[in-house]
Amino acid sequence: MKKRLLYLIPAIFLLSGCGKSVSISINLPGSESKISESSDTDESEVTDAQKATDATKESEKKGVDMLDANVYYKPQDGYQPPENVIPQIRADNKKLEDTVKKINSVWTSDYSKIQLTRYDSNIFSLLIDTVTVDNAASSEELRGVNISSRTGKELKITAVLKDANTLYEKLMSDHDFVDNYDDIDNFGEKLKSVLIEPDAFTDGENKNSDVAWSLSNGALMIYMLENTKYGKQSVSIPIDYIKYKEFFKPDILTLPDDYAFKIIPDREMTVNIGGTERRVEVDEDIDEYGVLQEVELKIDGVKREYKDDSYSYGITDAYIFKKGNSAYLYLELTYDNDYRSIKVIDLNNDEQSDIRECFADTAPLNPNKFYLGERVATISTVNVERKYTLGEEGSPEALENYYTIVTPVSLVAKIELSGERLKGINGDYDSSITLPVGILLTPVGSDNETFTDYSTSSGDIIRIPMQKSSDGEITINGRDVRDVFDGTFFAG
């Protein structure tokens, strides 16, 4: 069986390497694990770290709620899409305004990728991974952003861990753990800098931008650069909450009732299924032609095999959705032309289904409201996303009949067009408008049936009606969309 490690690589690259097995445990509601807090924090550490911890004490009593955030892309000032498009983050929390501004204007470029790892009323955490190229050799720069959602202050590692020195010694004495990362230069020193040297990081970045950390719903995630045949690429190192529970402060372990978390194929994770913690591992069988033959799922060592005849090239991403006593595995598969879809497996029983959606740029962390993406052909072939909730039998149910277009496309009108000016994206009607020949329009949203919304260079949002035939052909005012716009593109 061929095994592959999924690295944290921006979407502009599709590279894979070989991985080794790592065990991860997740603290889930219903677990009988007890958390006790020691009192060995140095007085020098009782500053912003202690204040951040104190600010979350009340949340432990009231419970923790998921908050809304999403990743999107926009061109830099002075450019039109698809040139110089950079990732941005949007978060519904005034305490995070300064951090969001730094992310969007200083810390990202058109070679960056933002991976949101946790966002609730306790913690806002993400990884920024930026690809760099020097003399045709690629590398990456890493930055972890870890903020208290209640104070807006940066969380140092001292606000996360207790007795970090002992944790470091415990990890380094575990030969299996260390052997997993033998391709990382100076692994021990880098791990030490994360765990016990908080001053080694400024705004989540060390001096060489080659080590970072974030918090997920299941682990302290440490990121380092590993040597591969493609150059240096980032690899994630989980320090899981349950296995090392005595080293984590209680507010870090306090999670919402329902949540989702990323898993890596070939790695075992403990999951709450029906109120019982069980070991789950996902694997894939890839043949000599690089085609997926079957998905292998192990629960407490008992194997389930799911044959695949879709000619997929394998798993690109995987998440477990935990809602109430139910748990579902979402496996994203990739195909020719970067087409992707999702296989849903019910971890409570043996049922599976396939959906045409794929994961969006925003990681699905909240089963009650998350983004999924899809490739559709409307006025052009574009990638879209919309909000869903976890429905019956684990299938996603749309929360809205509006698709946000995330593919940066610039279209030039060949004909005069009539439309409606809206009060914001998918907003209420404002006034009628006639658009001249030659106007530059960027599609921003659609219902994929009767209209598409566009933004103009002045920032106006214009809705233009369209017609969709039974065979999927799009027309505007009775004309083929290719005769209406320059810049359309339709993938095969």
pLDDT at res. 19: 34
Instruction: Return the structure tokens found at 374.
Output: 């899809």
Q: Is the confidence at residue 243, as pLDDT, over 70?
A: yes
Which helix H or strand E contains 117, and what residues bound it?
A: strand 112-119
Are 376 and 384 in contact by the 8 Å Cβ rule? The answer is: yes
Q: Is the confidence at residue 82, as pLDDT, over 70?
A: no
Rounded mean pLDDT of 225-248? Answer: 85
pLDDT at res. 167: 97
User: Which among 176, 30, 151 has a CA at the least distance from the CA of 96?
Assistant: 151
Residues β-bridged to residue 260: 321
- Phi, psi angles (nearest 5°) of residue 440: -90, 125
User: Which among 488, 489, 441 has a CA at the least distance from the CA of 462?
Assistant: 441
490 CA to centre of own chain: 27
Q: Is the confidence at residue 37, as pLDDT, over 60?
A: no
pLDDT at res. 136: 66
Q: Is the confidence at residue 135, as pLDDT, over 80?
A: no
pLDDT above 70: percentage of residues in the chain: 85
Note the pLDDT tens digit of each residue in 138-155. 788 999 999 999 999 999
pLDDT at res. 78: 61
Note the pLDDT tens digit of each residue in 343-387. 999 998 889 999 999 999 999 999 999 999 998 888 888 899 999
Rounded mean pLDDT of 70-95? Answer: 81
For CA atoms 68, 73, 75, 80, give the dihedral sign.
negative
Give residue 279's pLDDT band: very low, low, confident or very high (50, 70, 90).
confident
pLDDT at res. 2: 43
The letter for the amino acid at 136 is A
pLDDT above 90: percentage of residues in the chain: 60
Distance CA 430, CA 88 (A): 28
Note the pLDDT tens digit of each residue in 416-474. 999 999 999 999 999 999 999 999 999 999 999 999 999 998 889 999 999 988 888 88
Give residue 102's pLDDT band: very low, low, confident or very high (50, 70, 90).
very high
Average pLDDT of the chain to the nearest whole number = 84
pLDDT at res. 230: 75
pLDDT at res. 62: 56
pLDDT at res. 44: 42
Q: Is the confidence at residue 108, as pLDDT, over 90?
A: yes
